[in-house]
């Protein structure tokens, strides 16, 4: 019986109405379904997708060098020295293999490779998606002594696969593409973003050379990432400016049931933070997952067992967090059919991974501890200290709880709250200084804008444990105004505002306060950064007047433009030194009115950078410190819409 006979009339009618979008047209119609978004993240995703294919070739052992070049015309070229995508006719599709890979969604079949292909999530959607979202794309393949080429426009081939030359025995694939400006909000690649990912990929795939070039400026940049030590070097890199509890990272690697598990870890001495990065098939699983929980369980149980066997740490109850205090770890797993879940598809879901990782880590770690009793001893000692501090912190927290300081119902006295209770509409301005706070209170739209002025010093979240943080008045008022808890208990769904806007002066002190706040939010309320709830206000740098007309310039360039327009005669220029110099109306018009203001979103990377730069900022060296402040005080560019 064929399908149509079992459908009744109504069903036939309904299915006719469904417009079946075929192939790459569907990708252009709903790009976000394939690459997550069409903003800067989606744009960079294109490069990751192409590079992933070369990484696959490297993971199978056929390629040891990948080059990524940013070209002056905003295109990107990715090349590798792998086997080259096959060019022979595909038996079922009567087209050359390379054309199928470039034009069919999830091209598989004969050209499927055996390696740990990424599936699900945003990665692994296939290069055909990149092709569909490119104004043009060109692929060149070196194979069997020849060079072949095919060109495409918006995903459609505009040439055959042509042989364009001969070549020695070397082989490889080169893909050059120009993202389509009709699809993307921006087509400008960020070198630093790509650099971070390429470095990460080089750490995760030991021995692989990845070259990144920026050919867009007169002074070309070229960097090579190549780490024979793999994730051990990754941990060394993450801990590069920290004091270590023991000299070498602990490392092991094992393959079991067709799954690879690799771990490198090392504790820091004084930093109380932890940095545990988990990867699955080269994807940074920021939301964690089964591999991470397997690792955490193994760490806690193994160290508990070790303590019991050796009668250590008996005077205090050590918990999992205590063993993780100050820990830097990279866990890297490779598995055949990964399931990615969660809001950003960065949570590993495969349930079998928990047990596999747990048993491998337990065995290997126990062996290590027994062979290295000195290291075991310092780890336990640190955990004991952490456990004691945790108990003290709990007492401090209970104290503040009793006083009602962490309850959102009991808002801090300095807060001028807004009247709209809907968090998606409400905004919290955290304002440096009383006078600016006063202007902001008068100038704001009290329907949806709340003002929290900060007076005292903000404590450095990198140096302090949570109990110390909770003793700080300013920190406590921020916690209670936001009303979503702190640290492990922080719940972004409880946040009373979906825009939290830091408003500080554009001077050195302002930069310092901003950095302290970034570090605090990064360490203790990171989900706010992940969700994009944290912003920085951008007050204007200049007020330019001519007659009755008033203009505001937010950047030096804007100032020049305005001056060019007005001419030089009878023009008054005032440089704003601080927010306090603006009256409430000016502050509203230039910095708070959603119609006019500029807000810069603070990302997790900004938080991370502030965190890392803290040593620099707080350190004794004056040179690098000054430089950082200037760098950080530069005007931001994201325009609030
Ligand atoms: C399918 C089969 C083979 C290689 C590749 C794909 C391949 C794809 C890409 C994409 C970027 N670089 C790549 N390198 C190789 C193997 C063909 C054979 O058996 O020689």
- pLDDT given for residue 364 in this prediction: 98
- How far does the centroid of ligand 1 lie from the alpha carbon of residue 529, in Å? 39
Residue having the nearest C-alpha atom to atom 12 of ligand 1: 54
Mean pLDDT rounded to a whole number for the chain: 86
Atom of ligand 1 nearest to the CA of 172: 14
Among 63, 84, 96, residue to substitute to test ligand 1 (most atoms within 8 Å of Cβ): 84
DSSP notation for 63-80: --EEEEEE-TTS-EEEEE
What confidence tier does 640 reach under pLDDT thresholds 50, 70, 90? very low
Tens digits of residue pLDDT in 118-143: 654 566 678 999 999 999 999 999 99
Q: Is the CB of 79 under 6 A from ligand 1?
A: no
3-state DSSP call for residue 553? strand
Average pLDDT over residues 19-30: 77
Checking phi first, is residue 94 left (phi over 0); if not, alpha (psi -120 to 50) or beta? left
State the Cα–Cα distance between residues 103 and 184, nearest whole angstrom. Answer: 20
Tokens of 495: 């946040």
Query: Does the structure show a pLDDT above 60 at 436?
Result: yes
What is the architecture, at CATH level 2, of domain 231-393? 2-Layer Sandwich (3.30)
Spatial CA neighbour of 591 closest among 444, 484, 480 = 444
Average pLDDT over residues 587-594: 93
Residue scoring higher pLDDT (607 or 223) = 223
Tens digits of residue pLDDT in 504-544: 987 788 888 888 899 899 988 999 999 999 999 989 989 99
- How far does the centroid of ligand 1 lie from the alpha carbon of residue 85, in Å? 4
Domain 404-539+582-635 has CATH 3.40.50.670: yes
Tens digits of residue pLDDT in 542-575: 999 998 888 999 888 999 999 998 887 889 999 8
Spatial CA neighbour of 386 closest among 327, 469, 330, 307 = 327
| Assigned CATH topology for domain 3-226 | Heat Shock Protein 90 (3.30.565)
Tokens of 317: 């109850």
- pLDDT given for residue 631 in this prediction: 40
Q: Is the CB of 86 under 6 A from ligand 1?
A: yes
Element (H, E) at 342: none
Catalytic amino acids? 432, 505, 507, 509
- pLDDT given for residue 107 in this prediction: 53
Query: Does the structure show a pLDDT above 90 at 181?
Result: yes
DSSP 8-state secondary structure symbol assigned to residue 244: B
Q: Is the CB of 83 under 6 A from ligand 1?
A: yes
- How far does the centroid of ligand 1 lie from the alpha carbon of residue 140, in Å? 12
Top mean pLDDT of 89-98, 267-276, 415-424, 453-462 is at 415-424
Domain boundaries, the chain: 3-226, 231-393, 404-539+582-635, 542-575
CB 78 within 8 A of CB 169: no
State the Cα–Cα distance between residues 108 and 126, nearest whole angstrom. Answer: 10
- pLDDT given for residue 123 in this prediction: 65
Q: Is the CB of 54 under 6 A from ligand 1?
A: yes
Strands 259-267 and 250-256: antiparallel
Q: Say what the pTM is.
A: 0.67
CB 523 within 8 A of CB 586: no
Average pLDDT over residues 382-387: 91
What confidence tier does 320 reach under pLDDT thresholds 50, 70, 90? very high
Tens digits of residue pLDDT in 474-496: 888 898 899 888 887 788 998 99
């Amino acid at each position: 019986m064929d399908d149509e006979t079992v459908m009744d009339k109504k069903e036939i009618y309904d299915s006719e109405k469904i417009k079946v979008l075929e192939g790459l047209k569907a990708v252009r119609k709903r790009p976000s379904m394939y690459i997550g978004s069409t903003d800067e993240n989606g744009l960079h995703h294109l490069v990751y997708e192409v590079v992933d294919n070369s990484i696959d070739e490297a993971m199978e052992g056929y390629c040891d060098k990948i080059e990524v070049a940013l070209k002056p015309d905003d295109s990107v070229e990715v090349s590798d020295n792998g086997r080259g995508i096959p060019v022979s006719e595909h038996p079922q599709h009567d087209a050359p293999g390379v054309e199928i890979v470039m034009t069919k969604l999830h091209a598989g079949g004969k050209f499927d490779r055996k390696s740990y292909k990424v599936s699900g999530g945003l990665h692994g959607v296939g290069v055909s998606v990149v092709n569909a979202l490119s104004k043009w794309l060109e692929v060149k393949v070196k194979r069997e002594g020849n060079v072949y080429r095919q060109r495409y426009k918006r995903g459609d081939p505009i040439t055959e696969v042509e042989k364009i030359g001969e070549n020695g025995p070397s082989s490889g694939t080169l893909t050059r593409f120009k993202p389509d400006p009709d699809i993307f909000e921006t087509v400008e690649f960020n070198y630093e973003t790509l650099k971070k990912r390429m470095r990460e990929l080089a750490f995760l795939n030991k021995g692989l050379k990845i070259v990144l070039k920026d050919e867009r400026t007169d002074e070309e940049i070229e960097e090579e990432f190549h780490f024979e030590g793999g994730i051990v070097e990754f941990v060394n890199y993450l801990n590069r400016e920290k004091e270590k509890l023991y000299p070498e990272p602990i490392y092991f690697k094992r393959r079991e049931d067709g799954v690879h598990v690799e771990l490198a870890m090392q504790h820091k001495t004084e930093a109380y933070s932890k940095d545990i990065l988990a990867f699955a098939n080269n994807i940074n699983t920021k939301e964690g997952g089964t591999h991470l929980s397997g690792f955490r369980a193994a760490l806690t149980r193994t160290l508990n067992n070790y303590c019991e066997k050796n009668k250590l740490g008996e005077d205090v109850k050590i918990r999992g967090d205590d063993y993780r205090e100050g820990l830097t770890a990279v866990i890297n797993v490779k598995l055949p059919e990964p399931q990615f879940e969660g809001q950003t598809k960065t949570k590993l879901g495969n349930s079998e991974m928990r047990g596999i990782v747990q048993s491998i880590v337990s065995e290997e770690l126990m062996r290590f501890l027994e062979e290295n009793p000195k290291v075991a001893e310092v780890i336990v000692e640190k955990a004991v200290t952490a456990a004691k501090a945790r108990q003290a912190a709990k007492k401090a927290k209970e104290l503040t709880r009793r006083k009602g300081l962490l309850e959102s119902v009991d808002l801090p006295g300095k807060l001028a709250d807004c009247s709209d209770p809907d968090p998606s509409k409400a905004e919290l301005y955290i304002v440096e200084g009383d006078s600016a706070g006063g202007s902001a209170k008068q100038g704001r739209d009290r329907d949806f804008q709340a003002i929290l002025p900060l007076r005292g010093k903000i404590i450095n979240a990198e140096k302090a444990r949570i109990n110390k943080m909770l003793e700080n008045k300013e920190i406590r008022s921020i916690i209670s105004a936001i009303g979503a808890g702190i640290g492990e208990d922080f719940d972004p769904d409880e946040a009373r505002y979906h825009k939290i806007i830091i408003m500080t002066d554009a001077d050195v002190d302002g930069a310092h306060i901003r950095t302290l706040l970034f570090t605090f939010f990064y360490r203790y309320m990171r989900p706010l950064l992940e969700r994009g709830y944290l912003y920085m206000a951008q007050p204007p740098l200049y007020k330019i007047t001519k007659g009755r007309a008033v203009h505001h310039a937010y950047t030096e360039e804007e100032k020049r433009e305005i001056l060019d327009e007005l001419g030089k005669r009878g023009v008054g220029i005032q440089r704003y030194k601080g927010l306090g110099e603006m009256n409430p109306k000016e502050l509203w018009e230039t910095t708070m009115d959603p119609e006019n203001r500029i807000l810069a979103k603070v990302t997790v990377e900004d938080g991370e950078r502030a965190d890392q730069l803290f040593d620099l900022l707080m350190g004794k060296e004056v040179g690098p410190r000054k430089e950082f402040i200037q760098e950080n005080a530069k005007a931001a560019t994201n325009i609030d819409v």
